[in-house]
Amino acid sequence: MSDPTVSALKRLLAACLLGVFVLAPACAQALPPIIQPVWYATSVDSSAGMAHFSIRFDRAPDLVTADEFFRSADGFQFWTDTASDDPIGSTYAGILGEGPLGTQAVLTNTNIPGTGSLAVIWPQDPSYTGPRDPGGWGSIEAYGDYTLGPDNSVSFDLPLSLLHAANGVFYYVFETYQYGAGGLIDYAGISGQEYFVTCVPEPAEVLLLASGLAVLAFMARRRQTRRT
């Protein structure tokens, strides 16, 4: 490889690296990452008939700011089922008439004026004629409240009867959102257990890693060319 070509490649790589260092932080600021949990757990008090949910996020969630559809800047939603370890799949199957309904519940934070900050929804199929929740999943059985902790945590308590879980056992999956847009990652669990989440690299970190690998590959190829 001629020296002018090597110099041109060096300049190109330098420009790419400069772009990564300059643009990646700007993109991260323009599109803040969706809140993600670092720890989550449920506990059950069978004698009192109550379930306790607790999540600690990687930053303080903004559950107050909402758009015209009452969707929070940061939101969370639980899907629960006492009969299936795939609450999301069983809920969709039930609503579409491809499976049974009656063992599922959807728990979501809401900004609907005059209500609690948490809604408990029982999914219903399209033939259901009663009042539906704004998302169309089914009937709202109850409103509740959650507590925001100083450690970026959210916690709330619900009667087991609202989860169709008289025996205190239920499966759940929860997701985090920005104004209704999903985080693309589901966090699953079973009642009475706690979980720690492995850190997911930020987009800027991924770009820096990719650029570093590209530089290493270029240097290795250059050394191989010199040997040849």
Distance CA 50, CA 42 (A): 11
Task: Give pLDDT, residue 25.
Answer: 44
85, 86, 88, 94: CA torsion to nearest 10:
-90
| Bridge-based pairing state of the strands 37-45 and 147-148 | unpaired
Task: Give pLDDT, residue 224.
Answer: 54
Which among 52, 55, 58, 53 has a CA at the least distance from the CA of 40? Answer: 55
Which among 72, 78, 43 has a CA at the least distance from the CA of 60? Answer: 72
Please report, in angstroms and rounded to a whole number, the separation of the first and last CA atoms in the chain.
Answer: 10
Task: Give pLDDT, residue 217.
Answer: 52
Write the secondary structure of 79-140 as one string of H (helix), E (strand) and C (coil).
EEECCCCCHHHHHHHHHCCCCCCCCEEEEEECCCCCCCCEEEEEECCCCCCCCCCCCCCEEE
Q: How far is CA 98 from CA 90, 128, 187, in A?
A: 9, 16, 24
Q: Is 154 helix (H, G, I), strand (E, B) or coil?
A: strand
Is the pTM above the cut of 0.85?
no
Distance CA 196, CA 4 (A): 52
Task: Give pLDDT, residue 61.
Answer: 94
| Bridge-based pairing state of the strands 194-196 and 181-182 | unpaired
- Give the DSSP letter of residue 68: T
Helical (H) or strand (E) element with 54: strand 50-57
Task: Give pLDDT, residue 140.
Answer: 94
- Ordered by start, the domain boundaries in the chain are 1-31, 37-202
User: Mind listing the pLDDT tens digit of every residue in the chain (228 residues)?
Assistant: 555 554 554 454 444 444 444 444 444 445 478 899 999 999 999 999 999 999 999 999 999 998 888 889 999 999 999 999 999 999 999 999 999 999 999 999 988 888 889 999 999 998 899 999 888 889 999 999 999 999 999 999 999 999 999 999 999 999 999 998 877 788 999 999 999 997 544 444 444 444 544 544 545 555 555 555
Which among 17, 35, 13 has a CA at the least distance from the CA of 221? Answer: 13
Written as six digits, the tokens of 35 are 């809140």
